[in-house]
């Protein structure tokens, strides 16, 4: 039977679900749900005999030194969209396929981006804290109608965020990392260059994957292009933004606020300066932590394994057969 290992189901995410039952019908399954992998060596020990690995938590990484020690590995199936923790080039060289989820949580993440935007514009967390302290503020807030929403990355999530922004009466600008191919127009947005978007947008919402080309792309220079009353929303990955530049922009009010569901370190350290900034709205990377979305995503990750074993792989990010 196919050896299938889940090395990182702690805290339990897959265990006890219908997806686990289906997974156990596909092979000899070992799920590690008592404790997290301690380090790379522990991760290798858990996966040593695996032909298939289901990677639950993206923070557990598979760089080339780890992959090279997993001699039987044929497939890594992620239960999320992000694959930046897996060395894709090494997988191609070593003949390891990588599958992930496509659009499983697009609607939910887009909704969360808009929620963070509205909280920042309307200063809802700040007003909540003020009232609990016995204050009755008459500070001004901002509405979304008539503002310019800039979408950076026009995949499924970015396109849905654009549609929600338009429903609120916003003008939407869009920039795609690759060729636009009409995506902006289909979402009712206007395609522009990135720097132009940053200059014109009242709200900038990030919806890109992390790669060498996108890492820290929102840097000090690009913060300098943004309006001083602009809001940055990031529900994609913390690494898209230069951390020092972000802190400086928020501290010095070079931008008005940020709404963040993702961070450079997750969870942030207790002394992370972001936690002390009043103009940041934060959620713990849980924008799609909704029962039906979680269940659908787990089952899709298992179906990706099933289809791979049947010779009809789905949702491949890396397909060694295409070399």
Least confident of 125-134, 178-187, 308-317: 178-187
In the set 35, 193, 252, 266, the catalytic residue is: 266
Architecture of 3-103+290-322 per CATH?
3-Layer(aba) Sandwich (3.40)
* pLDDT at residue 153, as a whole number: 96
Q: Position of tokens 């060729």?
A: 179
Mean pLDDT, rounded, for 169-178: 95
Name the CATH code of domain 106-282 (choices 2.60.130.10, 2.40.110.10, 1.20.200.10, 3.40.50.720).
Answer: 3.40.50.720
**Which of the residues 237, 252, 254, 264 is marked catalytic?**
237
Confidence of residue 228 (pLDDT cuts 50, 70, 90): very high
The whole-number average pLDDT for the span 70-77 is: 97
Domain boundaries, the chain: 3-103+290-322, 106-282
237 is catalytic: yes
3-103+290-322 against 106-282: fold identical: yes
CA atoms 248, 254, 257, 261: torsion sign: negative
| Three-state SS annotation for 58-124 | CCCCECHHHHCCCCCCCEEEECCCCCCCECHHHHHHHCCEEECCCCCCHHHHHHHHHHHHHHHHHCH
Q: Is 183 a catalytic residue?
A: no
| 46-57 pLDDT tens trace | 999 999 999 998
Per annotation, catalytic residue among 61, 93, 285, 296 = 285
Whether 207 is a known active-site residue: answer: no
């Amino acid at each position: 039977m196919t050896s299938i290992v889940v090395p990182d189901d702690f805290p339990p995410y897959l265990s006890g679900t219908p997806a686990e039952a289906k997974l156990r019908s596909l092979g000899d399954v070992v799920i590690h749900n008592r404790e997290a992998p301690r380090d790379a060596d522990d991760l290798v020990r858990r996966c040593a005999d695996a032909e298939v690995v289901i990677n639950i938590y993206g923070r557990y990484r598979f760089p080339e030194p780890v992959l090279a020690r997993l001699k039987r590995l044929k497939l890594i199936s992620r239960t999320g969209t992000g694959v930046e923790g897996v060395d894709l080039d090494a997988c191609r060289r070593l003949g390891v396929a990588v599958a992930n989820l496509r659009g499983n949580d697009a609607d939910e993440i887009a909704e969360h981006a808009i929620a963070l935007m509205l909280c920042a514009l309307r200063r809802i967390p700040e007003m909540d804290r003020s009232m609990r302290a016995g204050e009755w503020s008459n500070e001004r807030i901002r509405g979304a109608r008539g503002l310019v929403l800039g979408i950076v990355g026009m995949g499924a999530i970015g396109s849905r965020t654009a549609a929600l922004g338009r429903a609120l009466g916003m003008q939407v600008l869009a920039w795609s990392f690759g060729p636009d191919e009409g995506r902006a127009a289909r979402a009712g947005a206007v395609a522009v260059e990135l720097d132009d978007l940053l200059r014109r947008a009242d709200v900038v919402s990030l919806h890109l994957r992390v790669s060498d080309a996108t890492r820290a792309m929102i840097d000090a220079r690009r913060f300098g292009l943004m309006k001083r009353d602009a809001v940055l929303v990031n529900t994609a990955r913390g690494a898209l933004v230069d951390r020092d530049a972000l802190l400086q922009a928020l501290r010095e009010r070079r931008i008005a606020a940020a709404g963040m569901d993702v961070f450079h370190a997750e969870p942030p350290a207790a002394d992370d300066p972001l936690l002390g900034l009043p103009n940041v709205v934060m959620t713990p990377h849980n924008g799609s932590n909704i029962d039906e979305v979680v269940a659908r995503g787990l089952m899709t990750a298992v179906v990706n394994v099933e289809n791979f074993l049947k010779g009809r792989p789905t949702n491949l990010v890396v397909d060694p057969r295409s070399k």
